[in-house]
Structure 1
Amino acid sequence: MSVIHILGSDIEHHNRTVLSFFNDILAPKLPHSQMPLCFWVVAREPAQLGNYPALQVRVLPDKRALAKAVAVLAKKCREQRFFFHGQFNLGIWLLLLTGRIRAAQVSWHIWGADLYEDSAGFRFKLFYVLRRCVQGRVGRVFATRGDLAYYRQRYPHVPMQLLYFPTRMPLAQNLPRLPKPATQRLTILLGNSGDRSNRHIEGLRAIYQKFGKQVRILLPFGYPLGNDLYGHEIRAEAEKLFAPEQVEFINKVIDFNEYRKLLMPCDLGYFLFNRQQGVGTLCLLIQLCIPFVISRQNPFQQDLAEQRVPVLFHGDDLSPERVRETQHRMTQLDQTQIAFFNPNYITDWQRTLVIANGETLDDAG
């Protein structure tokens, strides 16, 4: 009986990345016993999701419909296994809480936002209490090194496995990498989206304090939708600190190649989220030998340290000279050995599917 992979939120760019990875990369490498690969996906616009001939994809119109479908199948067949990718929806949390899905049926790949409690709103605080009650009621979790350490503090009894999101990126190669030429004005990427977890206002102030006005700042702001009010707050702060031409908001969703092109002229990334987030952007910056600043609270620093990636920390003494020094160190990295780079995460995904199917590695050969 094949495991059913659940993409339970309508996050199109993440869902397309996962589906493309399974269709194009994993499916051709899997033994017949692990086929077919079945996915249930929330998508309001199925046509935008893409075509995946190697997968069996069932599209549900919203979170509620998907949770209901999971409930029906979980009750009908208690041996059915589910692999939840990233953020659950509330309906699925409730199924776990009430035991309508058994822990033995569930594998869970944690994405950064799944674990952390950044929002201060009353509604979110209630949801966090519920979520804490449920997060340990799964059979096995898969996550980054830092997220596993965070999860283990609350749920040490749950089996765990290291696994990285299949970030879309060019194949890691050890090509000659020369430091970027020094420029009078640093180009800085601030954040990876328009979500408040990026702490853009604090970032703008820190950049001004550390580097003054000799900067150009790029802010990706095409996701999530409906963040206009937050955007106005950031623009107001940017106008206090910098000339209008120094701060550029990218207000549209841009494709992978265009995003990579946007990063190329950058001298520095500045990311103040306190949770694991933006690993895809960090991977592209590492490949381009562009240094970045992260929060000391970001658990992904454990993964970066394990892979010997040099990083800068928010709150430390920063200067253009230190940025150049870190950039030079990045040119010395053996990128083919970084565990969260393509193709190094593929083997771990193959092992993960064996475990999710209830097999042992010996059974799978």
Structure 2
Amino acid sequence: MIKNIVFFVDKSNGFPNALYGYIRENFPDYNTCFYSIDRRNEIELDTEINKIKSYKEFLLNRKISKDIRDSDLIIISGVFTMQYIFATIYRKYLSKTILQFWGGDFYQFKNQNMINRIKKFFYDICVDKSKAIVTMISTEKKEFISIFPFALKKTFYYTPVPGKNDPQNIVYRKKALSEFDKSINIVIGNSATSTNQHKEIFEMFRNKDLKGVKVLCPLSYGDSRYRDEIIELGKEIFGTSFIPITEFLTLSEYKELLMHCRVGIYNTNRQQGLGNISILTNLGKKIYIRKDNPMWDYYSNLGYRLFDCDDLANQDIEEIMQWSIDDARLNFDAIEKRNADIISNWKKILT
């Protein structure tokens, strides 16, 4: 029997196109249709992905209601908007709906302000009535249940939002290794969000002699006020060595930029930046993560070689930059293991 699956994927960071490509490439035998809400027409979607331009469409668009009604399985990837629709209009279909949480969509509720309490009312309905929960990494289940205790009895899966296999990844890796000695920069964080905890890392570098090392800081999306604070502090501490990235780059442009970095530092206090870490490890770069972040155990269990952000305070720039091609190759086997783990877990979710 061919399974009919409907995906609702949040528009952020090109994830609808990435997930669409991955599912069609690896699971072609399923009948799948994809939707993404983009009320301001901000993103370019694959022509096979249905763009929803207003919430009214859920009331007036018969195709949406028919696809939901006829589906064997519904997957909401990125629970940032659809929870309101499924907690109200389509509540009766939650029993065949799997919710894939990306991180920010549930970690936000650690802040129990009045607005979040109202928002969480709709999340509680969806989590309680849903078929299953998916977190991006296996070690996030504990964090999720601390926010939604009643989810303890739910079925849990874990897997990130992958992209279609890109043959260029091999090309980029070969180029990165051939130009390894030219990689003399550091990249810190993945966005202009406070969970990156840039300030803590910047202060660790305040008295270090960078010796020509540039510090790149991706800040193209997130909180604009926080972004401005980080740029001001970065210029104060690093001077002309600080390079804030405030414009959106194409994926190819971003990979070229990261190719010239040797070290990536992710001081996030939650799961965040998985895509950035994937790019950097494929390019053979050294990665620092907080040990108290659930990502540490996730990557370590897959065989990655990681370094603790806390160690940066006591390391000079030579020690931070110490990383060889042989070191880089240690993570390549772990990447293949992770890729196999991802497809295995998607298979469990879809079947």
Q: TM-score, normalised by structure 1?
A: 0.77
Aligned counterpart, 1:359: none
Q: RMSD over aligned Cα, in angstroms?
A: 3.7
Secondary structure of 1:282 counterpart: helix
- Pick from 5, 8, 13: which aligns with 2:7? 5
Question: How far did residue 194 of structure 1 move?
Answer: 2.1
Cα-to-partner distance string for 1:294-316 (whole Å, 9 max, x where unaligned): 22332111211111111122222
Paired AA for residue 202 in structure 1 = E
Q: Distance in 2 between matches of 1:231 and 1:76?
A: 40
Q: Is 2:194 the partner of 1:196?
A: yes
Q: How does 1:1-365 map to 2 (within 5 A)?
A: 2-7=4-9, 9-23=10-24, 25-26=25-26, 29-31=27-29, 34-35=30-31, 37-44=32-39, 48-52=43-47, 55=48, 57-62=49-54, 65-66=57-58, 73=65, 77=69, 81-89=73-81, 92-93=83-84, 95-96=86-87, 100-117=91-108, 120=111, 122-127=113-118, 129-130=120-121, 133-134=124-125, 135-143=127-135, 144-152=137-145, 154=149, 155-167=151-163, 170=166, 180-181=180-181, 187-208=185-206, 211-214=208-211, 215-224=213-222, 227-243=223-239, 245-316=240-311, 317-325=314-322, 327=324, 330-333=327-330, 335-338=332-335, 341-342=338-339, 345-353=342-350, 355=351
Give the 3 Å change call, closer, same or farther, for CA 235–286 of structure 1 in structure 2: same
Structure 1: distance between partners of 2:23 and 2:349? 12
Is the Cα–Cα contact under 8 Å of residues 305 and 331 in structure 2 kept in the other structure?
A: no
- Give how far 1:132 is off: 6.1
Deviations 1:119-160 (A, max 9, x none): 758355325643663434321122311223433553221112
Deviation at 1:321, TM superposition (A): 4.5
CA contact (8 A) 2:79 2:99 kept: no
CA pair 10-313 structure 1, distance change in 2 beyond 3 A: same
**Per the alignment, in what secondary structure is the counterpart of residue 338 of structure 1?**
helix
TM-score by length of 2: 0.79
What is the rounded CA distance, in whole Å, between the counterparts of 2:324 and 2:164 in structure 1? Answer: 23
Q: Distance in 2 between matches of 1:193 and 1:287?
A: 20
CA distance in 2, matches of 1:310, 1:349: 25
Shift of 1:348: 3.5
User: Which structure would you say has the larger RCO, counting Cα contacts within 8 Å and 6 or more residues apart?
Assistant: 1
Secondary structure at the aligned position of 1:108 is classed as: strand
CA distance in 2, matches of 1:319, 1:246: 16
Change (3 A) 1:73 1:51: closer
* Percent identity over paired residues: 16
Q: Counterpart amino acid of 1:206?
A: M
Tell me, in whole angstroms, the C-alpha distance in 1 between the residues paired with 2:203 and 2:60.
46
List gaps (5 residues or longer) in structure 2.
none
Residues 10, 43 of structure 1: 8 Å contact kept: yes
Q: Give the Cα separation in 2 of the matches to 1:327 and 1:127.
A: 51
Deviation at 1:231, TM superposition (A): 2.4
Q: Secondary structure at the match of 1:208?
A: coil
Greater share of helix residues, 1 or 2? 2
Distance 1:67 1:112, change over 3 A: farther
| Counterpart secondary structure, 1:141 | strand
Provide the aligned length of Structure 1 versus Structure 2: 337
Paired residue secondary structure (1:109): strand
Tell me the distance in 1 between the aligned counterparts of 2:323 and 2:60.
50
- TM-aligned CA deviation for residue 218 of structure 1: 0.8
For the Cα contact (< 8 Å) 2:209–2:317, is it kept in 1? no
Give the 3 Å change call, closer, same or farther, for CA 257–98 of structure 1 in structure 2.
closer
Deviation at 1:169, TM superposition (A): 6.8
Q: Which runs of 5 or more structure 1 residues have no equivalent in the other structure?
A: 356-365
Quick check: 2:132–2:156 contact (8 Å CA) kept in 1?
yes
Q: Offset of 1:162 from its aligned partner? A: 3.0
Residues 1:292 and 1:115: Cα distance change in structure 2 (over 3 Å):
same
